[in-house]
Amino acid sequence: MATIELFNTLGGKIETLSPVDQKALRMYCCGPTVYDYGHIGNFRTFLHVDVLRRVIRQQGIPVQHVMNITDVDDKIIRNAGAAGVPIAQYTEKFERAFFEDLDALAIERPEYISHATACIPDMVSLIEQLAAKDIAYKAEDGSWYFRIARFPEYGKLSKKDFDGIEDGARVDIDEYEKDAARDFALWKAVKPGEQSWDTTLGTGRPGWHIECSAMATKFLGDDIDLHAGGEDLMFPHHENEIAQSESASGKPFVRHWMHVRFLLVEGKKMSKSEGNFYTLRDLLLKGYRASAIRFLLISVPYRHQMNFTFDSLIESTNAIDRLRTFHQRMLKGGFPHGCDQALSLLTGEARMAYTIALANDLNTAEARAAIFDLVRAANTAADTGMLRSENVTEIIGVLQLFDGVFAVLEDRDAAITRAALAWAEAEGRLDEAAPELVATLSFSDADIDALVAERTQAKKTRNFARADAIRNDLLQKGILIEDSKDGVRWKRK
RNA sequence: GCACCGAUGGCGAAGUGGCUAACGCGCUGGUCUGCAAAACCAGUAUUCAUGGGUUCAAAUCCCAUUCGGUGCUCCA
């Protein structure tokens, strides 16, 4: 069984990631809080987790992956209240949007998707286990808290030292309900007008941290192989999960922690006040392709802070076009039989370099480079007549390997953008869409094919003026025509 | 304030002690083409924020400085 080397936040170094039961890698990834549309920062994390699971499976290891949907929390309650709808109705819309966005970005569905509101009994049971050990305690208002003083290892993930804070010598007057300032909520007592559950703990709703502990354990057991999330979740969220789960089970909760670093947008932290905050849908409406967004967000390795810019989005678009053009060239066939040994060797080297790069802490940048090296070598061979059919078979095999992780070769972009436009129309936000986008997509494939055929006919009669007029006209609408030896092809820019 | 991370060509970005500093995009010239596009070829950082140090050897290790980022109340 193959393995990959992956940085482990817990040990602070690169360690081998492998399933402890030798059967399947059991992993948990913190999912979305469905109170709004997902932004590109959210998706950078989900995309890199997607890369991880694709790489693991490519190495022959099955994955058991759980993702939670947080469908009750402060922001949801606030927003649903403002909208005047029940929280279930409010979250349903954004959850559906979230899954549409995952599909647009070719992010695979985890094996288990679990709603917080469907696992309340599991959370209550976990809190009761902690209460039985006097680690959870009930405050005057009916909320339950975790007693951090009872978990000496608190801070081991984020490498924080809380000595002096948990002495108990000082008690914050404002926090009279809690025994210590750092203690965090496990269960929040009901407030007027809020959705609540009647349980043996009292009437209320779960805290955020307990959700993940309960759901990870429910589906994967007490000790799991890997837990992933954005870097900001390391503290306090993941630290609290460890405290809860390990206090309850008495065992190490997670062997391997993976944290994806934040991205910057145009050199700055993405925030609404900076005016550089983008959801996936914002970018689709601006005319950027879903495939380019995926490719860009995964091209920078997950442990590096990446700078998201519109220039680099265009770069990704062009890079994908190069890959797709090359892929089509290989699929077209018609190459002479046989095998060019030198190229075969290069193909094997590219495959090796690609595999090693990903196994080395998911170095997507190097993996990508290995593929482009192969593309250039094969294009050169094709141009000089050295490319043979057996080479093509090998090359397509490497491309499939590459696409098994990067998932950008299939062109679904027009359909995804159309869906985004339909959504914008339904939401009354069509004015946010780039005008040329609407024009380009209003042209059906059949319309374009007809015009392309007319141009080809004009060319045959050497009516180049007419042919060029059609080409320019289509170009104005964002459609690019390419004449090649084996016929005419077109694509949307 | 405390802690941590980063700074590589026009842009994005690999590389963390030793061949001519990957790869992509862009740009310039050439080949091909009716013209384009695609593709290929050639060129595009004597140099890796700045200063100092260690070493036979440093983008890579150490120190300082400057700048950028993150965490320190549930923001991926």
Provide the CATH number for the domain around residue A360: 1.10.730.10
Which nucleotide is nearest to A464 if distance is taken from CA to C1'? B34
Binding residues of A for ATP: 272
Domain co-membership, A161 together with A246: yes
The span from the CA of A285 to the CA of A424, in Å, is 8
Domain co-membership, A81 together with A129: yes
Domain co-membership, A252 together with A313: no
Q: How many domains does chain A have?
A: 3
Domain co-membership, A340 together with A435: no
Nearest residue to nucleotide B24, by CA–C1' distance, is A319
Note the pLDDT of residue A1.
52
Please say which residue of A199, A233, A260 terminates a domain.
A260
Nearest residue to nucleotide B76, by CA–C1' distance, is A42
Distance A218 CA to B19 C1' (A): 54
Distance A366 CA to B17 C1' (A): 21
Domain co-membership, A199 together with A290: no
Q: Do the Cβ atoms of A388 and A336 come closer than 8 Å?
A: yes
Distance A303 CA to B65 C1' (A): 27
Distance A12 CA to B61 C1' (A): 19
Note the pLDDT of residue A357.
95
- The set of strand B positions with any atom below 7 Å of a protein CB reads 3, 5-6, 11-15, 22-26, 33-41, 68-76
The span from the CA of A460 to the CA of A463, in Å, is 7
The DSSP code for A477 is T
Which nucleotide is nearest to A237 if distance is taken from CA to C1'? B74
Q: Calculate the dihedral angle through the C-alpha atoms of A206, A209, A211, A213, rounding to the nearest 10 degrees.
A: -140
Distance A188 CA to B76 C1' (A): 24
Residues 6+ apart with CB under 8 A from A218: A114, A119, A122
Say how many C-beta atoms besides its own lie within 10 A of residue A58's C-beta.
16
Helices (H), A221-332: 239-249, 280-285, 290-299, 310-332
Distance A301 CA to B61 C1' (A): 24
The span from the CA of A465 to the CA of A426, in Å, is 42
Which nucleotide is nearest to A74 if distance is taken from CA to C1'? B74
Binding residues of A for Zn(2+): 30, 212, 237, 241
Note the pLDDT of residue A243.
94
Distance A322 CA to B38 C1' (A): 9
Domain co-membership, A149 together with A231: yes
Which nucleotide is nearest to A235 if distance is taken from CA to C1'? B71
What are A224's two structure tokens? 């799991």
Domain co-membership, A229 together with A319: no
Which nucleotide is nearest to A277 if distance is taken from CA to C1'? B75
What are A93's two structure tokens? 């819309």
Note the pLDDT of residue A377.
95
Distance A296 CA to B61 C1' (A): 32
Task: Give the closest residue to A53 by CA, choosing from A114, A113, A106, A108.
Answer: A108
Note the pLDDT of residue A177.
65
Q: Which domain holds residue A320?
A: 268-406
Please say which residue of A356, A373, A406 terminates a domain.
A406
Nearest residue to nucleotide B37, by CA–C1' distance, is A482
What are A241's two structure tokens? 């999960």
Locus of tokens 């025509």: A481
Note the pLDDT of residue A334.
87
Instruction: Tell me the backbone φ, ψ of residue A323, rounded to 5 degrees.
Output: -65, -40
Domain co-membership, A364 together with A243: no
Domain co-membership, A142 together with A160: yes
Nearest residue to nucleotide B7, by CA–C1' distance, is A305
The span from the CA of A123 to the CA of A132, in Å, is 14
The span from the CA of A76 to the CA of A92, in Å, is 11
Output the domain CATH number for residue A100: 3.40.50.620
Domain co-membership, A209 together with A326: no
Which nucleotide is nearest to A188 if distance is taken from CA to C1'? B74
Note the pLDDT of residue A220.
95
Please say which residue of A389, A406, A423 terminates a domain.
A406
Domain co-membership, A299 together with A248: no
What are A330's two structure tokens? 């290989």
Which nucleotide is nearest to A185 if distance is taken from CA to C1'? B74
The span from the CA of A366 to the CA of A213, in Å, is 35
pLDDT in tens, chain A (493 residues): 567 999 999 888 899 999 998 899 999 999 999 999 999 999 999 999 999 999 999 999 999 999 999 999 988 999 998 899 999 999 999 999 999 999 999 999 999 999 999 999 999 999 999 999 999 999 988 999 999 989 988 888 988 766 544 333 334 444 456 777 788 999 999 988 888 999 999 999 999 999 999 999 999 999 999 999 999 899 899 999 999 999 999 999 999 999 999 899 888 888 887 788 999 999 999 999 999 999 999 999 999 989 999 999 999 999 999 999 999 999 988 899 999 999 999 999 999 999 999 999 999 999 999 999 999 999 999 999 999 999 999 999 999 999 999 999 999 999 999 999 999 999 999 999 998 888 888 888 888 999 999 999 999 999 999 999 999 988 888 889 998 877 888 988 7
Domain co-membership, A196 together with A51: yes
The helices-and-strands tally (H runs, E runs) of chain A is 16, 17
Note the pLDDT of residue A189.
92
CA distances from A211 to A240, A241, A319, A330, A443 (A): 11, 9, 41, 49, 47
Helices (H), A308-388: 310-332, 341-359, 364-383
Distance A249 CA to B23 C1' (A): 47
Binding residues of A: 30, 212, 237, 241, 272
